[in-house]
């Protein structure tokens, strides 16, 4: 297979999204539509990548560089059709010799292996190939036309199709692979004599077929090339992605107790023998080791969980949370940018942020690491086998030495040595019989009031 250059069309405003955000930056499963397409494109190992975007879209450039740091960009100032969009990439690829693949940034379910097969379909007598699919309902799609010998002879758009052509169910996805030299030769021959007055990239197919050369065809599932034009379609894409990710997780050795209630991000990684209870949400950037339990109603994002850990129920792991082997993070515990050591436990109602918790330590209910002073974040360091009593406030920056004990209700504002006891609470004042006398006085006052 020859070298591949990728052109990704991402200039659409997405007016039907009713959003100030460019359409291709809307997210499904925690990843932008553009990100899904560029992730699939990595399968091709492209030598060059050019992203075509519209005016005032710096965020599109920034997002594309997350996946291909060296990619180039082309500006489509006039939205005059797909051929016009591809022509804007010519300057970036004029010296490229190989295969050009054109993808669409609003088609997030595209399968990288199918696109790779498309690029591999080119040879000397077949310098172009298209990706097609059998449509359940072909209305609105371009139809793939065949010659008498069965080869692809052209593509006709819905608005330009004759009645007999509208009956065709083999439809065009818009994704093509073409010899680079031929692409730049044929693009100037495309006109806009059609119902929309646009320059269609699909006209390349007819031009190649008319020259006597063959047009290759690679087919895919209709859902793989579903586009996004509004938020209803975005929701459908989300559903399809979640179905894929749930099946992938279970086939890889995870148990989902109620699969339909678990929400994955595109990059979620689960080890084997993981148990995920209902209503768990995985945000982006979560890696889970083997034999981990994630209990109901937990929310995880940007977190790493080591083997044998137990999370939840109702736990929240925020970005930077690192949970060690066999550690426990319990109900209504929030962890942010903190490393929890092997076997450490925080089982109830606590906040652990910007902290290091040593192996085997126990964090009592209601404990808070006071990490923010209104301007800066500070670190709390808790050594190994520390016992932190309930309702403790650790005012960072502060260090608690290994083996220390913190009494319940203590505010720790200075370092605690190893193996020490730290207690800060007022002396308990007990007055015998006071409560009974108080109740009697109150009752007498109430009775006197009623007599009046």
**Strand segments (E) across 106-237:** 128-134, 143-146, 152-156, 170-179, 215-219
Residue tagged active-site, from 26, 151, 299, 348: 348
- Can you read off the two tokens belonging to residue 230? 């509004």
Helix intervals (H) in 146-261: 163-166, 180-186, 203-210, 231-251
348 catalytically annotated? yes
**Strand segments (E) across 69-181:** 72-75, 99-104, 128-134, 143-146, 152-156, 170-179
CA–CA dist 42, 37 (Å, integer)? 9
CA–CA dist 23, 36 (Å, integer)? 13
Q: Quick one: 358 exposed, middle or buried, by C-beta within 10 A (0-12, 13-18, 19+)?
A: buried
CA–CA dist 352, 371 (Å, integer)? 9
Name the residue among 269, 262, 306 with its Cα closest to residue 284: 269
CA–CA dist 361, 383 (Å, integer)? 7
Taking the alpha carbons at both ends of the chain, their separation in whole angstroms is 103
Report whether 133 contacts 216 (CB < 8 A). no
Report whether 6 contacts 50 (CB < 8 A). yes
- Can you read off the two tokens belonging to residue 95? 């010296």
Place of tokens 């593509």: 155
Place of tokens 């209305």: 139
Q: What share of the chain is helix, strand, coil (3-state, %, to 5)?
A: 25, 30, 45
Name the residue among 144, 146, 169 with its Cα closest to residue 156: 144
CA–CA dist 335, 319 (Å, integer)? 8
DSSP code, position 393: E
Strands 362-363 and 269-270: unpaired
The neighbour count for residue 62, using CB atoms within 10 Å, is: 10
**Strand segments (E) across 11-68:** 27-28, 31-32, 48-53
Helical (H) or strand (E) element with 4: strand 4-9
Report whether 266 contacts 29 (CB < 8 A). yes
Active site residues: 348
């Amino acid at each position: 297979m020859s070298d591949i250059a990728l052109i990704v069309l991402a200039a659409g405003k997405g007016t039907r999204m009713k959003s100030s955000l460019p359409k291709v930056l809307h997210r499904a499963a925690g990843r932008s539509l553009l990100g899904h397409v560029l992730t699939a494109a990595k399968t091709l190992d492209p030598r060059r990548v050019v992203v075509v975007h519209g005016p005032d879209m710096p965020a599109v450039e920034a997002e594309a560089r997350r996946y291909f740091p060296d990619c180039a960009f082309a500006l489509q100032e006039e939205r005059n059709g797909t051929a016009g969009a591809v022509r804007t990439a010519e300057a970036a690829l004029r010296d490229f010799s190989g295969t050009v693949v054109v993808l669409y940034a609003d088609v997030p379910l595209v399968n990288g292996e199918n696109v790779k097969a498309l690029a591999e379909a080119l040879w000397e007598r077949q310098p172009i190939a298209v990706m097609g699919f059998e449509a359940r309902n072909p209305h609105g799609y371009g139809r793939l036309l065949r010659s008498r010998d069965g080869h692809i002879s052209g593509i006709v758009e819905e608005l330009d199709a004759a009645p007999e052509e509208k009956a065709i169910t083999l439809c065009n996805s818009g994704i093509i692979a073409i010899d680079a030299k031929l692409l730049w030769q044929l693009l100037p021959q495309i006109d806009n004599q059609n119902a929309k007055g646009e320059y269609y990239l699909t006209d390349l197919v007819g031009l190649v077929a008319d020259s006597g050369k063959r047009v290759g065809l690679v087919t895919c599932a209709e859902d793989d090339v579903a586009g996004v034009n509004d938020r209803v379609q975005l929701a459908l894409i989300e559903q399809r992605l979640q179905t894929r990710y749930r099946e992938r997780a279970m086939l890889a050795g995870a148990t989902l107790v109620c699969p339909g209630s678990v929400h994955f991000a595109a990059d979620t990684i689960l080890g084997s023998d993981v148990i995920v209870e209902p209503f768990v949400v995985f945000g982006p950037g979560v890696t889970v080791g083997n034999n981990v339990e994630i209990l109901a109603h937990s929310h995880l994002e940007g977190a790493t969980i080591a083997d044998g850990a137990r999370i939840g129920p109702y736990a929240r792991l925020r970005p930077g949370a690192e949970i060690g082997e066999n550690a426990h993070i319990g109900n209504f515990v929030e962890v942010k940018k903190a490393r929890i050591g092997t076997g450490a436990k925080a089982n109830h109602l606590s906040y652990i942020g910007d902290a290091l918790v040593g192996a085997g330590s126990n964090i009592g209910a209601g404990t808070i690491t006071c990490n923010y002073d209104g301007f800066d974040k500070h670190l709390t360091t808790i050594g190994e086998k520390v016992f932190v009593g309930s309702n403790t406030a650790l005012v960072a920056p502060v260090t608690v030495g290994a083996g220390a004990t913190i009494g319940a209700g203590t505010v720790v504002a200075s370092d605690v040595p190893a193996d020490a006891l730290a207690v800060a609470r007022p002396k308990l004042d007990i007055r015998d019989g006071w409560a009974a006398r108080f109740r009697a006085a109150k009752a007498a006052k109430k009775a006197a009031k009623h007599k009046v």
